[in-house]
Amino acid sequence: MRSPRKRPAAFTLIELLVVIAIIAILIALLVPAVQKVREAAVVTECSNKVKQVGLAAHNFHDTYKRLPPCVAPGSGNAYTTDPWKGLVGFTTFSFLLPYVEQGALFEMAKGNMGTAIPGSPGAGTVYATPVTAYRCPAEFMPAGPSGDGLSSTSTGGATGWAYGNYAANYYVFGSPEQTSNPKRLELSLSMSKRFQDGSSNVIMLAERYGTCGISAGNVNATTTHGSLWGDSNATWRPLFCTNNINQDPTTTGFAKCFMFQVQPKALFTCDTMRAQSPHSAGMNICAGDGSVHYITPDNTQGVWENACDPQDGTPLNENWIR
């Protein structure tokens, strides 16, 4: 006679609850760690890109013995001063295209950033072409309806224009000493003349949001602006240290550069007069010597001002960068 089979042991309700609790605790411990690893990876990727742009500026300087200028007087306007006279709508980042593996796009422009490119996204022009080297994956705003890499706001029709997440220091690439606005924007100097404080003591490039404003969440509000790598319109210029909401210097000289923001809310607390970091602890910057550093808000406004001004004569403490 067969003995009755024993039923396999099963978990009790209490045991199941204990296992679930342990799993929940492990998840709670692991998620922040995973998030930190992901954020560190994004910071590194964005750092590598600003390094690439900085090296491009040095390569440009090696070729032309001067830095590329800031911008033309306006989107559809031509440079009026030599040696760039006649180029239409160019920005610092337009000049750097051949040095970030975008020589073909530079040639397509034929001296005008508004040149049409058949089959291209958005507005179908050079300035509407997304450039991977100018984009940081930490960008807060999603791509606009016209496609990936294009601005999210319809203000000024910018949904068809490509954004960038890196900005040029006006005090480095411009000529604030000049008395007329076109010359302040169009003229540039050699590194030896510009970096009077030493190239390692000056911030050349910083980060910026592609879409930024104080519009209570309205992406299409008139107060929502952005940073478009290839557009010279005063509202959209990829600059910082102009201390002006329209990125248009209004006075001669080196005024104190407004302090950067760390993770402002893109459509609520983002000040377009400042540089902005999408990272939680600080900002990637490229110094004039091409070195890249991660600076934190622990630096005072005064340290930031000194680091942005290439000729103030104030030496920086070696601990100003991390």
pLDDT in tens, 156-169: 777 788 999 999 99
C-beta separation of 160 from 128 below 8 A: yes
Task: Report whether pLDDT(24) > 90.
Answer: no
Task: Report whether pLDDT(320) > 50.
Answer: yes
**Tokens read off for 148:** 């990936």
Q: Are strands 261-262 and 276-277 parallel, antiparallel or unpaired?
A: parallel
Q: What is the pLDDT of residues 257-277, one digit of tens each?
A: 999 999 999 899 999 999 999
Q: What is the pLDDT of residues 78-122, one digit of tens each?
A: 999 889 999 999 999 999 999 999 999 999 999 999 999 887 777
Q: Decide: pTM greater than 0.85.
A: yes
Task: Report whether pLDDT(14) > 50.
Answer: yes
Task: Report whether pLDDT(279) > 80.
Answer: yes
**Tokens read off for 9:** 């042991």
Cβ count near 252 (within 10 Å): 15
Q: What's the CA gap between 303 and 3, in Å, rounded? A: 85
Strands, DSSP E only, in the chain? 166-169, 203-207, 211-212, 225-226, 239-240, 261-262, 276-277, 283-287, 292-295
Q: What's the CA gap between 113 and 230, in Å, rounded? A: 7
Q: E strand or H helix at 103, and its extent?
A: helix 103-109
Mean of the per-residue pLDDT values of the chain: 86
Query: Taking Cα atoms as reference points, which of 204, 227, 196 lies closest to residue 293?
Result: 204
**Tokens read off for 40:** 């560190």
* Whole-Å CA distances, 86 to 38, 77, 83, 286: 45, 9, 9, 30
C-beta separation of 28 from 21 below 8 A: no
pLDDT at 258: 94
**Tokens read off for 158:** 């910018």
pLDDT at 2: 55
Task: Report whether pLDDT(148) > 70.
Answer: yes
DSSP secondary structure letters along 120-164: -STTSBGGGS--GGG--TT--SPPBTTBTTB-S--GGGGGGSB--
Residue 187 pLDDT level (bands cut at 50, 70, 90): very high
Q: What's the CA gap between 143 and 243, in Å, rounded? A: 27
Task: Report whether pLDDT(146) > 50.
Answer: no
